[in-house]
Structure 1
Amino acid sequence: MPFLDPRQPHPITLADGTPYRETVQLAAVIDHPRMEIGDFSYFTHSRTVEETAAILAPYLYPFSQERLLIGRFVQIAREAILITSSANHAMSGVTTYPFRVFSPDTIEGYQDLPFQDTIVGHDVWIGHGATIMPGVTIGSGTIIAARAVVTRDVPAYTIVGGNPATVLRQRFTDEKIADLLALAWWDWPIDKIERALPHLESGDIAALRQV
């Protein structure tokens, strides 16, 4: 029986049998028309489960044009935030003040502003307090350092940090990255993933191919 269950709101159970309620599986607790979230992706915060979507992506509204797409096995630390395109203000005029939002007749009146989906690949680790800016695509296997501000796309299996975030290093060689993306282990059945854990944790790509 697999020990990972995508339906569990709280995926961590402490040694004494107590659920750790501050870590939530996003797909199990979020029902948002503009979010698509893969199984086993989690986020840790100290507020209620019902507030999870608003904490993670506070500017993504049901009427937003953009989407937030999060892959499988994404790990999101406390205080991380994904700022989506609906946070933008019009900048073409004299003022950036969003007058229209203060009337129910015109609150959706900024739909003509440019928008882009924000995309987080699979097996991405977003560190404590990191900020992901609108329209960014983060490749699978990437690590975002704590407090980083990501303003541009990040290639797969890259470590970035700083404000604005810059590349610190590539995690593997180009050849290994191509192999990992082709393997796409995150799409395997969960029982196969659990059998492959020793190889996933050791980085033995040759052994992964034999699972």
Structure 2
Amino acid sequence: METTASTSSLASVTLEVADPGAAHRFYTAFGVDTYIRLRASEAHSTGFRGFTLALTVARPATVDGFFDAAVDAGATVLKPAAKSLWGYGGVVRAPDGTIWKIATSAKKDTGPATREVDEIVLLLGVEDVKAGRQFYVGRGLTVARSFGGKYTEFASDGAGPVKLALYKRRGLAKDLGVPAEGTGSHRLVLGGTTGPFTDPDGFTWEAATSSALS
């Protein structure tokens, strides 16, 4: 595991959408509007945009609650919620094109459904996890845990509500149930505590601001 002094972190996640008003209504109904920001954009994008937001909750009933809320608000089902070796979860695509994974490590309900979120992780699909990890460590992020060239998660100092992780692009697409190919904009802007930059896979960072969700 690589570590360095924490001098930078992910402070905000901004989704670029064609209709911010409609997207705001969707994310409010979904129940995750406080975790993301929205920005109007007509940037061209086709296929897989190279990332997902993974929503972790406590139990299957809560997965179902968020999953059903997303579908009722207009999301498309990519993978129905179901049991697996690691727990229970499903995948949806929001009307703006952003892919969300909703999951729990629990296989049985130990209580009623809630609307509580345990954790949200932004997974960036990258061509080379090791190179991406080295790049971000050089930018001041601290590695919290890492599994060779497959996955890296960075530590959060509480600056933002979403954690950052790197995942092999093709592996991420397979996990989400979509083809790995995609072109154009990621339709995603990350806010950081250091200056603006673009990572090796084209993900754009800007200086974080305290502005509210638009």
TM-score, normalised with respect to structure 2:
0.26
When Rg is computed on C-alpha atoms for both structures, the one with the higher figure is 1
More strand by share: 2
TM-score, normalised with respect to structure 1:
0.27
Higher RCO (C-alpha under 8 Å, 6+ residues apart):
2
